[in-house]
Amino acid sequence: MSKIKLQKLFKHYQNAFLQCDIDEVSRCYHLPCTLNTPDKIVLLKNATDCQQEFSAIFTQLKDASTSNIIAKKASFEQVSKQLYLVCIEWGFIDGQGQVFADFAAIYHVLDHDGTLKIVNVVSHELESSLTLAESLCW
């Protein structure tokens, strides 16, 4: 059951990113939450913060003529009754079919009354990817 919910969450997340749909991506996050990259840590406290941060991310994706976003490898494990760790290796494909960005993202996902939401994401180079207890393919 939890695997199916995680698959649905991340398929929705992937599609929302591909469509550059700020509202749908924001629905995947619990607020407040944090986004961590090698360059910065961002605290998203409200919908306005989400709009600003994802607008900047989507501008980069549009500038790169993103044609596809693929999950190359994904796994998860349940940490507690309400918390999951998920690791996904993402590949971002440009209009010429070339990978212009790839990285591993580690998500902390909260189950709040049956609804899964991301509370933290940490992005790293692929070399820092984790293989967790269960495969998560969709």
Q: Residue 113 has what pLDDT?
A: 86
> Do 77 and 46 form a contact (C-beta atoms < 8 A)?
no
Mean pLDDT of the chain: 95
Can you tell me the distance from the alpha carbon of 59 to that of 38, in angstroms, rounded to the nearest whole number? 19
Can you tell me the distance from the alpha carbon of 138 to that of 120, in angstroms, rounded to the nearest whole number? 21
Q: What is the DSSP string of 105-125?
A: EEEEEEEETTEEEEEEEEEE-
Q: Residue 1 has what pLDDT?
A: 67
**pTM of full prediction above 0.75:** yes
Can you tell me the distance from the alpha carbon of 41 to that of 99, in angstroms, rounded to the nearest whole number? 25
Structural domains of the chain ordered from first start: 2-135 (3.10.450.50)
pLDDT digits (tens, 9 = 90+) for 49-106: 999 999 999 999 999 999 999 999 999 999 999 999 999 999 999 989 999 999 999 9
